[in-house]
Amino acid sequence: MLRTKSNAPRKAIRVGESSDPVDAPPPRGLTDIMPYIANTPEDQRAMLEAIGVASVEELFEAIPPELRLNGPLAIPPALSEMELTGRIASLAATKQRTTEAGCFLGGGSYDHFIPAVVDHVAARGEFYTSYTPYQAEASQGNLQAFFEYQTLITRLTGMDVSNASLYDGGSAATEAVLMAISATRRHGRVVTAASVHPEYRRILATYLANLETELVTVGTPDGTIDPDELKAALDEQTACVLLQQPNFFGCLEAAESLVQVTHDAGALAVVSVDPISLGLLKRPGDYEADIVVAEGQSLGSPMSFGGPYLGVMACREAFVRRMPGRITGETVDRRGKRCFVLTLQTREQHIRREKATSNICTNQGLFALRATVYLAALGPQGLRETAELCLRKARYAAQRIASEAPLQLAFDRPTFKEFVVRTTNNNVAPLLAAAGEQGFLAGVPLGRWYPELADCFLVTVTEKRTKGQIDALAECLQSRI
Amino acid sequence: MRNTRATKLLFELSQPGRRATRLPEPDVPVVPLAELLPRESLAADPPPLPELTEPELVRHFVNLSTQNMSVDTHFYPLGSCTMKYNPKRNERLAGLPGMVDVHPYQAASSVQGLLELLYELQQMLAEIGGLSAVSLQPAAGAHGELTALLVAAAYFRDTNQRRLKVLAPDSAHGTNPASAAMAGFDTVTVKSTPAGFVDMEDFVAKLDDSVAVFMITNPNTLGMFDRQIAEIASRAHDAGALIYLDGANMNAILGISRPGDFGADMMHFNPHKTFSGPHGGGGPGAGPIAVNETLAPYLPVPQIVRDGDQYRLDYDRPKTIGQVRSFFGNVGVLVRAYAYIRTHGPHGLRRVSENAVLNANYLLSKVKHIFAVPQGDRCMHEFVASAARLKAEHDASAMDVAKRLLDYGFHAPTVYFPPIVPEAMMIEPTETETKETLDAFAETLFRISEEPADLLHEAPHTTSISRPDEVRAARKPVLSWQGPA
């Protein structure tokens, strides 16, 4: 195995600013203008004296000299707040910010409107600079918000219980599958479909690589899962089926029949949903799903080049003790007053160690809070109207963009806010690049994940897109194809 | 001033017909819904969400926020969590439109600045860790552990080695064995000496050619640097095993010692701890991992690579384990870490660790007169005190002390961890606290140690609630509001 030599000369890191000196200025002592460190030279002297050592160096005696770094780290020198602001502002000069371009990109990360009240609440220092509520008395704000989040998620999905969130939609789907394997004690097989987000399936394959479970993927050449094909893929050792509604192509799956087929084989149905679609579509609880997961980014979080987001997870009551992640519960305090605590902790790693339901030890607290404020701000009518706007605008866009060759819809299926466009002259990359030059983030090419769809791209239309933008995109695409 | 009235739930505040948002009228032709979607796919009614106006929402959540302790408002010496100050410039910069209004599937050519930032962060983390390659993808420290173990498993599979065991000390974070189990390994626990170091005899006895990885936290969970680390690494390497460093305690050794230099083959960072990303009430964090050159080909995709002056996302890595999270990772947290590292530079990072260790040792020098500190007179960035004597002589536990601290305006230390110290109180002051705060905290601990046990048993007395019934919460779980929909 290759070893790094402790004190070998290290190459300085090249950074964008060409005028950067490679060597930092010499240190000016323990406190050389560190904006977040309070100890003055006088403080340090007093502290060292109280400890009974002559220098800070002595405090590091436990580290043998040969294991110490000889010289400064080869990283760029310190920046003042003004310099840092200039540097990051220049790096943040993203071309085609989604706010300016017409953003028709989706595929799991969506440009939905975020009410100002969400940002206002999430910017409260008492929320974002606190931590996991180990001391319930010092964390009732977070705990109540998580309890409200869990309640909102159960109402949104129609499920019995929700946890306090996981990392993101993709890893939540995998956690749900692992949960199903443990609940059914069937380790043989997990079935999913090509219409499930390809990154989610890749995460699942990565997690399953060292376990005995086989991952079977049902093809979806027509854009949705054929219940008979699903049935054929199930055996008596199948733990669960992971499906997505609406699916990655934006199409509606025959969710009720698929869940039925799954249950007939004694497996659990894990459904990944678009939370916004639940303003309109049947809730997974209505069609007997066992575990529901979702990417929660749509619920009031910015796209931020992929994260942070939050993974939503809800399930039937029977499985609650197999759930991963933090769960908040209601109880009373010693005076009988209602309050909230982290609960069912015997599932978790800090108590169960290798027998825990998962290694996850925190939730995405701040982003669960954002989702809570978002759902409360929209309310039932706001969520329904948002979903309806997405649906109507997406259908209008599909007609405008893909009604005749060389641009056509790839699948003849009902869709929600996304649809797949096929270019009959197989011109995806130059077409999207040309649209980009006209200021459109026009679509996600599918060839990277689906070689058979190399001539296709995915278009997403949220409530933020206007008829004017849709018309302009349609004209742009049709003139460039 | 805290509003003592504000404890109703959103659902109890709800009144039919109230609204906080108004959406635009459709600007496209309105077609009946039944023509757009099959009737059987539609719900009869929208989900039963609460109905409130915007002013009610703001008052509700702002009042809730005041029921939290936080770094912005309180000293928060929660051991192992590195609750340092969260710089406001980082919040502003991470919130720039060019950082947040960016779709993960935008063309790389449109996000060159952001890719440059992330690429530079990869390099800086590799340098700080003394390792060759970095993946920024994992979403949390525990996720980084799991990712690194999947990398190790792929490496052993690729080199036809059948190694099914992970060794971890009994003082390890619970995430270590839990991550090992998820990656398909069996965990074997290695004993610690009374001082909290690896019991070499036990380690050597358990080390054989079935061991894949030894997971070690150094400085360890007692806040001590295990100086046997070089020998541990050398023995592990001789047996063909890898060393994983749990980087939870990197705040003690920035610019002073590098895991790669003391034998680690792979490690994770906790940017939300070491590099000041706010903890967000439980997250988001991030868990970037660094590995040596041999393991680099197995890292998750995408990796950021530089071709000339252009940056791109590279998915074409044949030996990759695949992906552990959708899209790129917790970018917003990584931007804050970048801002933090660039604010400090090489000398500044060293100052961070020097002052973190100075503050911890200073606090230790005061606390040891009140509570026993079994590990002795020195520590790195944190230390573990024991309330065992208080428990024996005054019937007051570490939990009682923790709860009573809240009354005095201090967050509690981490209690009952690590499990190898009875009545443990794990105290991590961080470098961003003043000597005056540390003095006041120590004085308060002394005062509490003299208080009558009855007073402590019922503490806290000043918070909105006190001593929730956790047994009831677990026995009859109420996990969502049960009122009318």
Torsion of CA B19, B23, B24, B28, to 10 degrees: -130
Q: What is the pLDDT of residues A196-211, one digit of tens each?
A: 999 999 999 999 999 9
**Cα-based angle A21, B289, A325 (whole degrees, multiple of 5):** 135
Are residues A356 and B181, on separate chains, in Cβ contact within 8 Å? yes
Give me chain A's average pLDDT, please.
92
Cα of first residue to Cα of last residue in chain A, in angstroms, is 53
pLDDT for res A32: 57
Q: Which of residues 312-331 of A touch B (CB under 8 A)?
A: 320, 326-331
Percent of chain A residues past pLDDT 90, beyond the cut: 83
Both tokens of residue B188? Answer: 């074997």
What sign for the dihedral angle of Cα A67, A68, A70, A76? positive
- Angle (deg, nearest 10), helices B175-182 and B141-158: 40
Clarify whether residues B286 and B190 are in a common domain: yes
Q: What is the pLDDT of residues A268-326, one digit of tens each?
A: 999 999 999 999 999 999 999 999 999 999 999 999 999 999 999 999 999 999 999 99
- Separation of alpha carbons B282 and A130, rounded Å: 8
Q: Mean pLDDT, to the nearest integer, of B155-165?
A: 97
Phi, psi of A331 (to 5 degrees): -155, -165
Closest approach of chain A CAs to the CA of B348, in angstroms? 7
CATH code of the domain containing A250:
3.40.640.10
Cα–Cα distances (Å) from B302 to A198, A290, A358, B190, in that order, read: 14, 32, 25, 35
Is the residue at A226 inside a domain? Answer: yes
Clarify whether residues B234 and B366 are in a common domain: no
Chosen for mutation from B7, B28, B321, B375 (greatest number of chain A CBs closer than 10 Å) is B28
CA B99 to chain centre: 23
Identify the band that residue A18 occupies on the pLDDT scale cut at 50, 70 and 90.
very low
E strand or H helix at A19: none
- End position of a domain, from candidates B279, B310, B343: B343
Specify whether the CB–CB gap between B302 and B134 falls below 8 A. no
Torsion of CA A189, A194, A200, A205, to 10 degrees: 40
Identify the band that residue B53 occupies on the pLDDT scale cut at 50, 70 and 90.
very high
Is the residue at B3 inside a domain? Answer: no
Are residues B127 and A10, on separate chains, in Cβ contact within 8 Å? yes
Clarify whether residues A359 and A388 are in a common domain: no
Specify whether the CB–CB gap between B324 and A203 falls below 8 A. yes
- CA of B315: which chain A residue's CA is closest? A448
**B380 touching A (Cβ < 8 Å):** yes
Is the residue at B182 inside a domain? Answer: yes
CATH code of the domain containing B210:
3.40.640.10
Clarify whether residues A209 and A289 are in a common domain: yes
**B402 touching A (Cβ < 8 Å):** yes
Is the residue at B4 inside a domain? Answer: no
Both tokens of residue B309? Answer: 């002056």
Residue A437 class from Cβ within 10 Å (0-12 exposed, 13-18 middle, 19+ buried)?
A: exposed
Nearest to A385 among B23, B37, B333 (CB): B23
Clarify whether residues A304 and A421 are in a common domain: no
Three-state SS string across A331-351, please?
Answer: EECCCCCEEEEECCHHHCHHH
Partners of residue A217 on adjacent β-strands: A192
Checking DSSP bridges between strand A214-218 and strand A268-273, what pairing results, if any?
unpaired
- Separation of alpha carbons B350 and B254, rounded Å: 5
Collect all residues of chain A within an 8 Å Cβ-Cβ radius of residue B184: 210-211
**A121 touching B (Cβ < 8 Å):** yes
Within chain B, what is the greatest distance between any pair of CA atoms? 79
Give the total residue count for chain A: 481
**B137 touching A (Cβ < 8 Å):** no
Give me chain B's average pLDDT, please.
96
Region of B465 (left: φ > 0; alpha: ψ -120 to 50; beta: rest) is beta
pLDDT for res A33: 64
Is the residue at B238 inside a domain? Answer: yes
Identify the band that residue B195 occupies on the pLDDT scale cut at 50, 70 and 90.
confident
From the list A430, A461, A429, A433, the residue with the least C-alpha distance to A445 is A429
Clarify whether residues A439 and A314 are in a common domain: no
pLDDT of residue A337 exceeding 70: yes
Clarify whether residues A397 and A331 are in a common domain: no
- End position of a domain, from candidates A340, A374, A408: A374
Checking DSSP bridges between strand B424-427 and strand A291-295, what pairing results, if any?
unpaired
Chosen for mutation from A103, A111, A129 (greatest number of chain B CBs closer than 10 Å) is A129
- End position of a domain, from candidates A337, A354, A374: A374
Residue B309 class from Cβ within 10 Å (0-12 exposed, 13-18 middle, 19+ buried)?
A: exposed
Are residues B101 and A69, on separate chains, in Cβ contact within 8 Å? no
Clarify whether residues A346 and A412 are in a common domain: no
Q: Which residues of B281-292 are buried (b: 16+ CB within 10 A; e: fewer)?
A: bbbbbbbbbbbb
Place of tokens 């093809």: A219
Is the residue at B47 inside a domain? Answer: yes
Clarify whether residues B333 and B410 are in a common domain: no
Percent of chain B residues past pLDDT 70, beyond the cut: 100
Specify whether the CB–CB gap between B440 and B362 falls below 8 A. no
Q: Mean pLDDT, to the nearest integer, of B193-206?
A: 93
Q: What is the pLDDT of residues B354-384, one digit of tens each?
A: 999 999 999 999 999 999 999 889 999 999 9
Q: Mean pLDDT, to the nearest integer, of A131-140?
A: 94
Count A/B contacts: CB-CB distance under 8 Å.
733
Q: What is the pLDDT of residues A206-243, one digit of tens each?
A: 999 999 999 999 999 999 999 999 999 999 999 999 99
Closest approach of chain B CAs to the CA of A411, in angstroms? 15
Is the residue at A25 inside a domain? Answer: no
pLDDT of residue A7 exceeding 60: no
Is the residue at B5 inside a domain? Answer: no
Query: Which of A10-14, A51-55, B238-242, B287-291 has the lowest average pLDDT?
Result: A10-14
Checking DSSP bridges between strand B133-135 and strand B165-169, what pairing results, if any?
unpaired
Q: Which of residues 372-431 of A touch B (CB under 8 A)?
A: 372-373, 375-386, 388-389, 391-393, 395-396, 414, 416
Nearest to A1 among B237, B258, B378 (CB): B237
Clarify whether residues B34 and B99 are in a common domain: no
From the list B22, B281, B252, the residue with the least C-alpha distance to B128 is B252
- Separation of alpha carbons B356 and B367, rounded Å: 16
Specify whether the CB–CB gap between A356 and B139 falls below 8 A. no
Clarify whether residues A153 and A190 are in a common domain: yes
Clarify whether residues A387 and A370 are in a common domain: no
Clarify whether residues B53 and B112 are in a common domain: no
Partners of residue B169 on adjacent β-strands: B190
**B460 touching A (Cβ < 8 Å):** yes
**A276 touching B (Cβ < 8 Å):** no
Are residues A388 and B357, on separate chains, in Cβ contact within 8 Å? no
pLDDT for res B7: 83
Is the residue at A20 inside a domain? Answer: no
CA A332 to chain centre: 34
- CA of B233: which chain A residue's CA is closest? A3
Is the residue at A64 inside a domain? Answer: yes
Residue B67 class from Cβ within 10 Å (0-12 exposed, 13-18 middle, 19+ buried)?
A: buried
Q: Mean pLDDT, to the nearest integer, of A24-45?
A: 73
Nearest to B184 among A126, A151, A211 (CB): A211
Q: Mean pLDDT, to the nearest integer, of A47-61?
A: 97
Clarify whether residues A370 and A384 are in a common domain: no
pLDDT for res A246: 98
- End position of a domain, from candidates B309, B343, B377: B343
Looking from the CA of B446 toward its CB, the CA atoms found within 13 Å total 14
Identify the band that residue A132 occupies on the pLDDT scale cut at 50, 70 and 90.
confident
pLDDT of residue B43 exceeding 50: yes
Write out the residue range of the structural domain in which residue A47 sits.
41-90
Write out the residue range of the structural domain in which residue B19 sits.
10-65
Please tell me whether residue B310 adopts helix, strand or coil conformation.
strand
- Separation of alpha carbons B142 and A356, rounded Å: 13
The tally of domains found in chain B comes to 3
pLDDT of residue A6 exceeding 50: no
Clarify whether residues B310 and B437 are in a common domain: no
Specify whether the CB–CB gap between B397 and B458 falls below 8 A. no
Identify the band that residue A9 occupies on the pLDDT scale cut at 50, 70 and 90.
very low
pLDDT for res B420: 85
Give the total residue count for chain B: 485
Q: Mean pLDDT, to the nearest integer, of A27-46?
A: 78
Higher-confidence position of A97 and B120: B120
Clarify whether residues B189 and B281 are in a common domain: yes
Identify the band that residue A3 occupies on the pLDDT scale cut at 50, 70 and 90.
very low
pLDDT for res A364: 94
Q: Mean pLDDT, to the nearest integer, of A16-45?
A: 65
Clarify whether residues B123 and B59 are in a common domain: no
Collect all residues of chain B within an 8 Å Cβ-Cβ radius of residue A305: 99, 102-104, 106, 111, 114, 327-328, 331
The tally of domains found in chain A comes to 3
Partners of residue B190 on adjacent β-strands: B169
Clarify whether residues B423 and B443 are in a common domain: yes
Rg over CA atoms, chain B? 25
Is the residue at A166 inside a domain? Answer: yes
pLDDT for res B430: 97
Segments of A279-319 assigned E as strands? 291-295, 311-315
Clarify whether residues B213 and B141 are in a common domain: yes
- Separation of alpha carbons B329 and A168, rounded Å: 9
Collect all residues of chain A within an 8 Å Cβ-Cβ radius of residue B154: 209
CATH code of the domain containing A452:
3.90.1150.10
Are residues A78 and B344, on separate chains, in Cβ contact within 8 Å? yes
Identify the band that residue B6 occupies on the pLDDT scale cut at 50, 70 and 90.
low
Clarify whether residues A216 and A337 are in a common domain: yes
Q: Mean pLDDT, to the nearest integer, of A245-249?
A: 98
Clarify whether residues A366 and A234 are in a common domain: yes
Please tell me whether residue B260 adopts helix, strand or coil conformation.
coil
Identify the band that residue B173 occupies on the pLDDT scale cut at 50, 70 and 90.
confident
CA B419 to chain centre: 19
pLDDT of residue A5 exceeding 70: no
Specify whether the CB–CB gap between A379 and B51 falls below 8 A. yes
pLDDT for res A19: 39
Are residues B70 and A363, on separate chains, in Cβ contact within 8 Å? no
pLDDT for res B1: 78
- End position of a domain, from candidates A318, A350, A374: A374
Collect all residues of chain A within an 8 Å Cβ-Cβ radius of residue B127: 10, 13, 73-75
Q: Which residues of B424-459 are buried (b: 16+ CB within 10 A; e: fewer)?
A: bbbbbbbbbbbbebbeebbebbeebbeeeeeebbeb
pLDDT of residue A17 exceeding 80: no
From the list B442, B117, B70, B90, the residue with the least C-alpha distance to A35 is B90
Cα–Cα distances (Å) from A229 to A217, A479, B443, in that order, read: 10, 40, 71
**Cα-based angle A103, A294, B145 (whole degrees, multiple of 5):** 105
- Separation of alpha carbons A240 and B429, rounded Å: 47
Closest approach of chain A CAs to the CA of B223, in angstroms? 11
Are residues B43 and A131, on separate chains, in Cβ contact within 8 Å? no
**A82 touching B (Cβ < 8 Å):** no
CATH code of the domain containing B419:
3.90.1150.10
Identify the band that residue A10 occupies on the pLDDT scale cut at 50, 70 and 90.
low
Q: What is the pLDDT of residues A424-459, one digit of tens each?
A: 877 899 999 999 999 999 999 999 999 999 999 999
Clarify whether residues B182 and B329 are in a common domain: yes
pLDDT of residue A31 exceeding 60: no
Clarify whether residues A144 and A191 are in a common domain: yes
pLDDT for res A1: 37
Both tokens of residue B451? Answer: 């208080």
- End position of a domain, from candidates B289, B315, B343: B343
**Cα-based angle A467, A469, A470 (whole degrees, multiple of 5):** 65
Clarify whether residues B286 and B362 are in a common domain: no
Both tokens of residue B260? Answer: 């790669």
Please tell me whether residue A305 adopts helix, strand or coil conformation.
helix
Is the residue at A359 inside a domain? Answer: yes
Three-state SS string across A337-402, please?
Answer: CEEEEECCHHHCHHHHHHHCCCCCCCCCHHHHHHHHHHHHHHHHHHHHHHHHHHHHHHHHHHHHHC
What sign for the dihedral angle of Cα B317, B322, B328, B334? negative
**B462 touching A (Cβ < 8 Å):** no
pLDDT of residue B29 exceeding 70: yes
